[in-house]
Structure 1
């Protein structure tokens, strides 16, 4: 049975932070975010929930593959899982910074650090489990888009916030 429980836990765990962030985001979108100057190329709001659910689930499964194939937290997976934990913490921190504190400049810096942490995770996952590293590529792509969006919103709203 544990052959199903461990991957299921790994998939659900990253989504918990996403769900918590969703509550914060939901309140800020109509009251604050919709009044910001945003680029025309931004994805529609309804896309974010399904995309993040997919990304959190795939990153969770990737972490399980590395944990399984790398000998857990004390084997070859120790550094890759530390990188994973770092990027996950940075991921979860972005929403309270951007939507909660409304610190657009800080959110721009933070998402840059997140992007670097995702890249480090991909690089360290690769020797342990290539599939796990490849599962994170859409995540890096999405955070690249989100980084450009965050920077653009900060640049176009500096006079309103921060």
Structure 2
């Protein structure tokens, strides 16, 4: 039999939606936003500034970036849905703050690297993403191991992208439109 305390607790905690219902919104929003930012900043192999640059020998083919980022944004959307479906707590707030912060850096990277041609500034952004995503995985783990695990491929891809960013700067001295002296002497 339910007690008055049980009824009070139920009124204080609004019913939570299942994570998959939240993901029906978060996944398309992140995939579309990421794609739009990439398109608007002229990311990739149609960019007139980027095309003539020497690329690292280990760079994946151009088509792989669209495929991988679509998968990663899908994973991030599911992660966000899983975090949003958890009860309010300091841990959840921390994880959501870290998610938002890394997402802002993520969305700033393509306009910085491809749009502006700022190789060093993009490198600083991507280093920040690596730190924030690592912290997010740690913060998300107690809330949802699935959510945290879905971020591991993203972190792995960021490590590759960080190396590509750095090596592109090293291979193309003078190409950076706002050098900080990080990737070029």
TM-score w.r.t. structure 1 length? Answer: 0.90
Higher helix share: 1
Do 2:44 and 2:50's aligned partners in 1 also have CA atoms closer than 8 Å?
Answer: no
Q: Which of these residues, 41, 48, 51, is aligned with residue 68 of structure 2?
A: 51
Deviates more, 1:27-36 or 1:118-127: 27-36
1:138 match = 153
- Structure 1 CA distance for aligned equivalents of residues 138 and 76 of structure 2: 14
Higher relative contact order (CA 8 A, sep 6+): 1
Q: Number of residue pairs matched?
A: 159
2:170 match = 155
CA-CA distance at 1:5 after TM superposition: 3.7
Moved over 6 A (4+): none
- Structure 2 CA distance for aligned equivalents of residues 118 and 42 of structure 1: 22
- Structure 2 CA distance for aligned equivalents of residues 155 and 84 of structure 1: 30
2:33 match = 17
Provide structure 1 residue ranges, at least 5 long, that are not aligned to the other structure.
none
Deviates more, 1:78-87 or 1:6-15: 6-15
What's the C-alpha RMSD, in Å, of the aligned pairs? Answer: 1.7
Q: Which of these residues, 122, 125, 128, is aligned with residue 140 of structure 2?
A: 125
- Structure 2 CA distance for aligned equivalents of residues 87 and 95 of structure 1: 14
Relative to 1, partners in 2 of residues 1:93 and 1:67: Cα closer, same or farther, differing over 3 Å?
same
Q: Which of these residues, 81, 99, 108, is aligned with residue 84 of structure 1?
A: 99
**Which protein is bigger by CA-based radius of gyration?**
2
Do 1:14 and 1:88's aligned partners in 2 also have CA atoms closer than 8 Å?
Answer: no
TM-score w.r.t. structure 2 length? Answer: 0.80
